[in-house]
Amino acid sequence: MAQCNDLFLKFDEKIKLKPEKKKYLRTSRNALREKIKGYFEETLKVSKPQFWGQGSYMMNTTIEPIEGEYDIDDGVYLMHLADKKEEDWPAASTVHNWIVKAVEGHTSTPPVNKNTCVRVIYKNDYHVDLPIYIKAEDAEHPKLAHKTKGWIDSDPKALTNWFNDEVKNKGAQLKRIVRYFKAWKDYKKGNDKFPSGMIFTILAANHFVEGYEEDDDSAFVATAQEIYDQLNSSFSLKRPVFPEEELLDGWSETAKTNFLNKLSNLIKQGQKALETVDKKEAADIWRKIFGDRFPEYTPPEERMDKGYALQTSKPAVLGNHGRSS
């Protein structure tokens, strides 16, 4: 069967966050941190907050979007309130306003005060989300400032640490599988409801299928099948760490059915690509799944030289993980 692992690895290089872009985003994030620290020390006259990166940027699963903006999450931890009892904390809306004031004028677009964060938008197709936390000195977990719900349980550090442990146990291929799911969503979503990047990350880690270390195409389809079987049986997913809340609440029956149909179609088309003998045909199927960012396959050119053909590259080596040779 056609071996497309090399094409998947090229695809991963195409979609993942490039080092130069990551450095640029880090520079912007650090400048924001300094501005917020200055506001707290000079205007509020309190000790400066600490920061902890979170989300896909810290997990190294960020992809380049086809359209839209990069998203960086940078948690702001209010250290000057850590020794206070929760009943003495300011309202969540108040601390949101502090961060809004701190970052005003930093970019040409005004900051957006969202329910769970303050968003700073840059003109170069990216934004930085600033969720705000207090971790009391005697508390095991921090609380998030939700603009309408008040202070709610949340521990993004725990999720990052959980995922990093999963990668240590299962290998770097897991990160690539997460990026492939995000790229599939990016290409196929349109106006339909899809799980968030965080949910895809947890699903991929929970249902990662080992045994295809050198076959990302097989690993991706096998993991997709495991995810489908679970969600088709019970459309539910709990956060694997505190506060362990249900993450798939709020999905209508129509939205569930539509997503499961898309996932089922992905599996069927992916299996067809795995079973296709011709590598060019297999690559064409994957391009229908992921779009034209997935590389085309051009068969090795042959040329006549002194009466015999020389191949310009070595033939693909088939793996033995569930494939027929």
Q: Which of 84, 203, 78 is nearest to 144 (CA)?
A: 78
Mean pLDDT score across all residues of the chain: 92
Confidence band (pLDDT; 50, 70, 90) for 302?
A: very low
Higher-scoring residue by pLDDT: 118, 321: 118
Amino acid 278 reads: D
The share of the chain scoring above pLDDT 70, in percent, equals: 92
198 pLDDT above the threshold of 60: yes
Confidence band (pLDDT; 50, 70, 90) for 186?
A: very high
Confidence band (pLDDT; 50, 70, 90) for 318?
A: very low
Q: Express each pLDDT in 208-218 by its tens digit.
A: 999 999 999 99
CA distances from 149 to 98, 140, 144 (A): 18, 21, 10
pLDDT of residue 149: 97
Q: Express each pLDDT in 103-114 by its tens digit.
A: 999 999 999 999
310 pLDDT above the threshold of 70: no
308 pLDDT above the threshold of 50: no
Q: Express each pLDDT in 147-166 by its tens digit.
A: 999 999 999 999 999 999 99
- State mean pLDDT over 87-116: 97
Does the reported pTM lie above 0.85? Answer: yes
pLDDT of residue 58: 95
125 pLDDT above the threshold of 90: no
Distance CA(22)–CA(28), nearest Å, equals: 10
Per-residue HEC secondary structure of the chain comes to CCCCHHHHHHHHHHHECCHHHHHHHHHHHHHHHHHHHHHHHHCCCCCCCEEEEECHHHHCCCECCCCCCEEEEEEEECHHHCCCCHHHCCCHHHHHHHHHHHHCCCCCCCCEECCCCEEEEECCCEEEEECEEECCCCCCCCEEEECCCEEEECCHHHHHHHHHHHHHHHCCHHHHHHHHHHHHHHHHCCCCCCCCHHHHHHHHHHHCCCCCCCCHHHHHHHHHHHHHHHHHHCCCCECCCCCCCECCCCCCHHHHHHHHHHHHHHHHHHHHHHHCCCHHHHHHHHHHHHCCCCCCCCCCCEEEECCEEEECCCCCCCCCCCCCC
Distance CA(35)–CA(111), nearest Å, equals: 14
What residues contact residue 140 under an 8 Å CB cut-off, 6+ apart?
A: 242
Q: Express each pLDDT in 161-182 by its tens digit.
A: 999 999 999 999 999 999 999 9
The share of the chain scoring above pLDDT 90, in percent, equals: 87
Distance CA(248)–CA(234), nearest Å, equals: 10
Confidence band (pLDDT; 50, 70, 90) for 325?
A: very low
Exposure string for 53-76, b = 16+ CB within 10 A, e = fewer: bbbbbbbbbbbbeeeeebbbbbbb
Burial of 134 (0-12, 13-18, 19+ CB in 10 A): buried
